[in-house]
Amino acid sequence: MQKQTNLELTYKVAKPDKSLFEFVENFWMLHNPTNSDKQVVILPDGRVDVFFTESETDPFHITLLGIGTSPEQSTIKANRTTFAISFKPLATEYILKKSISHLLNKGENLPDNFWGFSTIDLKDFDLFCQKATQQIETLLPKEVDTRKQKLFDSIYSSNGAFSVAELSEKACWSSRQINRYFNHQYGISLKTYCNILRFRASFQHIKDGQLFPEQNFADQAHFIKEVKRLAGVNPKQLTQNQNDRFIQFSTLPDQ
């Protein structure tokens, strides 16, 4: 488990058991122990998150967030605690059993008793991870479409660098059918999703001050253009991360 404190915020992240790797990226916790709200920017990262949140002014609630395609201004309220499950997109079909196309750049509230969670589960992060793991294990499918498995394996292994044609060939699935699936299930095209993953794969490089493309960008100009489109600022402004406002950069481990 990784634990990190950046200015006033405390962050923990835990990897899932191997049995969940196909569907869960990680579990994490973010806590603002101060009496002041913290303004942050959330960058697109290709994940689907379920948040379990509580603060002094907000009662316990659970929120499902769809895939983001643009930077989002957000507020981490004073004394707020958030535990979360970050799902890989395939989990929406096989674990959550729903399309999230209507949640592009949006969120929706889930029932307060979703999967049996309540305010008491925000007291201990380790126990939260155990409970979430046990619940997800009961929902694991007996079979997964092999085309979708191959597709997402190729997307993740390349950090979104493969072209749509290459992914189609690797998955033995036509690009038209893949895009129909992506738009129906997630509300975006395959190419858009790959661009987000490629952008996200650059986070650590940019934080370390490597302001040139490490991933499969055509050239420096293309890299800067994509970063500005998805982050709202250029790579130099990202690496400066003034006031720790880009939360994903603030929670990345220092090298």
206 token code pair:
């940019």
Nearest Cα to 76, choosing from 254, 255, 251? 251
Domain range list for the chain: 2-139, 146-235
Q: pLDDT per residue over 2-26, tens digit each? A: 655 555 789 999 999 999 999 999 9
State if pTM tops 0.85: yes
With a CB cutoff of 8 Å and minimum separation 6, the contacts of 92 are: 48, 98, 99, 100, 185, 186
CATH number of 146-235: 1.10.10.60
pLDDT at 14: 96
CATH topology of domain 2-139: Immunoglobulin-like (2.60.40)
Residues in the chain with pLDDT values less than 50: none
Closest CA to 53 of 68, 32, 70, 37: 32
